[in-house]
Structure 1
Amino acid sequence: MTSIFKKIIDREVPADIVYEDDLCLAFRDIQPKAPVHILVIPKKEIPSLQELSEDDQSIVGRCVWVASQLAAQEGLVNGYKLVVNCGEDGGQEVPHLHFHLLGGKKLSLGLV
């Protein structure tokens, strides 16, 4: 079954895309948990952190770097969170690896 994120990558579902390159895509979350809530996803279909292979290191590194660049672009000078949920017990809702960039307000130790 194709995930919603794959459909966004393939432009089958619209999204507010803020960044794209050959390895990753970033778009605004439709149910934001903070004033800035951007999802950064690899274009390669990786179900979760548990499914990473050694070959995926450059993709994950790229996604983290993109998140840091987007944080600067969004003016998150006082800080931000970069969150990855892994598996059902970890709160992962979409079976496609993704990074939540959250900021724009004081965030607690929890998700937001």
Structure 2
Amino acid sequence: MSTTEADCIFCRIVAGEIPATVVHRTATTVAFRDANPQAPTHVLVVPRTHVANAAELADVEPGTMSDLVTAAAAVAHEDGLGSDYRLVFNTGAGAGQTVFHAHLHLLGGRSLAWPPG
């Protein structure tokens, strides 16, 4: 599935057109609370650039891929998670990706089962 910037909900959040609970911003990333949290801390960290998924982001902006993880670690620290949190990328509809703008899920605040899904 293809999403353009004009109809991408995450692009619209980054642009400030759609309200979200933003918890962290950098020059390359925006982090906001998930509207349907799956854990006490469930934050989405998105690149400001519209790319479809994590693999595409790693290919076209590898530095931004690193920035997503760095931003997630900062939010985990701000939320008091210490080093106990999970980072998840879903790539493709079959893996559960529903918004086709690369995004990293930060989950924590409770014990998380393994394997997930």
State if a TM-score over 0.5 links the two structures: yes
Deviations 1:27-73 (A, max 9, x none): 00010000000000000001112323544110010110110111111
Deviation above 6 Å: which 4+ runs of structure 1? none
Alpha-carbon RMSD:
1.5
In structure 1, distance between residues paired with 2:33 and 2:79: 12
> 2:57·2:64 contact (CA, 8 Å) conserved in 1?
no
Identity of aligned residues (%): 37
In structure 2, distance between residues paired with 1:34 and 1:109: 14
Q: TM-score, normalised by structure 1?
A: 0.92
State how 1:50-61 maps to structure 2 within 5 Å: 50-52=55-57, 54-61=59-66
Unmatched 5+ stretches in structure 2 = none
- 1:70 equivalent in alignment to 2:94: no
In structure 1, distance between residues paired with 2:19 and 2:44: 14
Q: TM-score, normalised by structure 2?
A: 0.89
Report what 1:25 is aligned to.
Answer: 30
- 1:45 equivalent in alignment to 2:45: no
Q: Secondary structure at the match of 2:69?
A: helix
In structure 1, distance between residues paired with 2:32 and 2:46: 9
